[in-house]
Every structure is written in structure tokens, then in C-alpha cells.
Structure 1
């Protein structure tokens, strides 16, 4: 299953309004999980089963909460239990069709 999520603090002390430090801390939690993942400019996508992924997302939220007492979380999921390799597999199938 794929879970695309975005976590950000609602407030920041950075003079330029940047939330990059909080986001970097959240991404560290994802990387430390060992689950397949991909970071893009707007979302982090992580692959795994519910029981594997949800604690990672919660941990990332908890980490961001250390930066702000209010945290925003957006999640989009592709729920296909038992499938693996879809982080790249979905993209590869579309690319193959585009190459035809």
C-alpha cells in the first residue's frame, strides 16, 4: 500500500517563515523506518502495510509537534494490501504506455 502524506507545523520561528527544519526532522523518521519511500517537493510517499506505516506517520507528526503545538497532516492512500514495489511500479507502467 502507498501512503502519500504531508506534515507541516502551523507555526514557525524561522524569520522567513520556512518549515524546512520541521519537515527534515519528519523525513528522518521516515528514513529511519527502513520502509521504501520517496520525497518530493509536496509529499512524502511511503510503502508498506497499515501496521508498518501508521506508526511511522504518527512518529513524524510527533517530531513536527516538537516545533509547533499545532500540526497539519494530509494523507492520501492507495490501499492494495499485499502489493510491493508499487512506489516505482505504478510510475513504470505509466511510462511504458507513454513510450508506446
Structure 2
């Protein structure tokens, strides 16, 4: 499965003067990268690929890593559950690029 998720704190001192919560987001992304699962982070979401239990464990730990930065945490999650397929975090993008090149 591939999960795209975004996690951010609110209700606390996490934001910088310009409203950024990059410190909290860095704590979450660190958990994802240390998991060893295929992943990619963009300006809005982090994508993660693996088996259900391992992916959800990483999402949970990433969410917990953000908790100290505020009094509540917001989690947005979208999942592509496709049993029997692996390597889709790159494969889907490669197929899209190939279609655009035609």
C-alpha cells in the first residue's frame, strides 16, 4: 500500500513567527526516513509504501512525534491499497511520465 499523509500540530507554541511548523514536520519526517520504508516528502505530503501494519505503525509514530509541539495534532491520510503490488511509489510516477512523453 501507499499512504500519503500530512501531520501538523496546533494549539501550541510550534509555529514560528511566520506561521511555519517546520520543526514539528521535521520530527515526523525523521521518523518516516528512519523507518527504512520507501518514502518521499513534498511541500504538502509525505508518501510511504509498505505493508498495512508497518505503514500504519510509521504514521502513528510520526503523529506521536508531532504531539509535543502543540495541544492537538491534525492528520490527513489517503491510502492506495493494492494487494500484490510493490514498488508503486515510483512505478506510478514512471507510468505517468511515460504517458506524458507519448
Task: Return the TM-score normalized by structure 2.
Answer: 0.93
Where in structure 2 are the equivalents of 1:9-28 lying within 5 Å?
9-13=9-13, 14-28=16-30
The Cα offsets for residues 47-87 of structure 1, whole Å up to 9 and x where unpaired, read as 01111100100001101001112000000011002311101
The Cα offsets for residues 14-54 of structure 1, whole Å up to 9 and x where unpaired, read as 22221000000000000010000000000000001111100
Q: 2:55 aligns with which of 32, 41, 53?
A: 53
Q: Which moved more, 1:10-19 or 1:44-53?
A: 10-19
Q: Which moved more, 1:7-16 or 1:78-87?
A: 7-16
CA contact (8 A) 1:12 1:18 kept: no
CA contact (8 A) 2:12 2:71 kept: no
CA distance in 1, matches of 2:101, 2:18: 42
Matched, 1:71 2:73: yes
Structure 2: gaps spanning 5 or more residues: none
**How many residues end up aligned between the 2 structures?**
100
Deviation at 1:12, TM superposition (A): 4.5
Matched, 1:3 2:6: no
Q: Which aligned runs of 4 or more in structure 1 are off by greater than 6 angstroms?
A: none
Structure 1: gaps spanning 5 or more residues: none
